[in-house]
Amino acid sequence: MKTIAMMYVTLLPVFLAGVANKFFCESDFLAWTYEPIDGGLKTSDGRRFLGPNKTWKGFWGMIALTTFFQVIWGLILGIIPHFLSLSLVADYHNDIFFNLFFGFLLGSAYALCDLPTSFIKRRFNIPAGQEGQGNARWFFLVLDHADSFIGSIAAIALFHPMTFTYYVGYVFLGGLTAFLLDLLLQVIQAKRKALP
């Protein structure tokens, strides 16, 4: 149980940034950054590299928001030593410089590892924002939520070495949590739209 708590304490800024980034991308703020990363380029088969949903706004938004939340979370952990002791990076100085660096690293790893799945889905001719059909749908549903945590957990492992079993477990748990947060946001948005 403590192992799971340590993962959540360490990754909380990533979860918060993921939720905040959805609202950021849906807003009109900095709308000029809502440009596809692949610039509309296509491979020789006529398919997009990444698709229209992978934008610079979402990419840099995730990095900036993770960095921001990591700094805020670091300040809170400084006030609550018990929570700080649960962080997987508690052995390092919990100061603004470390948290800026660590937050940037977490956000960058998350954003970068989110891109290959889009590339793969375009190769399977799966439209942007969809998971595919049949068995492929379940595969990409899992991959869509876990891929980014492959990067984030790897970034944590640079500071807190872990076994392969722990690494896979953390990636799975992170992806499952992101999936449940996604469902919760969809329910909330659906209820808001249903209000008169």
DSSP per-residue letters across 12-32: HHHHHHHHHHHHHHHSSTTGG
- Which residue shows structure tokens 């469902």? 183
Q: Is the pLDDT of residue 135 over 70?
A: no
Alpha carbons 7 and 106: distance in angstroms, whole number: 13
pLDDT band at 15; cut points 50, 70, 90: very high
Q: What percent of the chain is modeled with pLDDT above 90?
A: 44
Output the six-digit token pair for 151: 């990067």
Query: Domain of 134?
Result: 2-194
Q: Do 157 and 178 meet the contact criterion of CB atoms below 8 Å apart? A: no
Give the number of domains in the chain: 1
pTM above 0.85, yes or no: yes
pLDDT band at 91; cut points 50, 70, 90: confident
Three-class SS state of 124: coil
Alpha carbons 118 and 51: distance in angstroms, whole number: 7
pLDDT digits (tens, 9 = 90+) for 24-55: 988 888 777 778 887 877 877 777 878 788 89
61, 35, 66, 62: which is closest to 50 by C-alpha? Answer: 35
Output the six-digit token pair for 161: 């070495």
pLDDT digits (tens, 9 = 90+) for 98-124: 999 999 999 999 999 988 888 887 777
Q: Do 104 and 47 meet the contact criterion of CB atoms below 8 Å apart? A: no
71, 62, 69, 144: which is closest to 109 by C-alpha? Answer: 62
CA distances in angstroms from 194 to 19, 40, 180, 182, 187, listed in the order given = 21, 35, 21, 18, 11
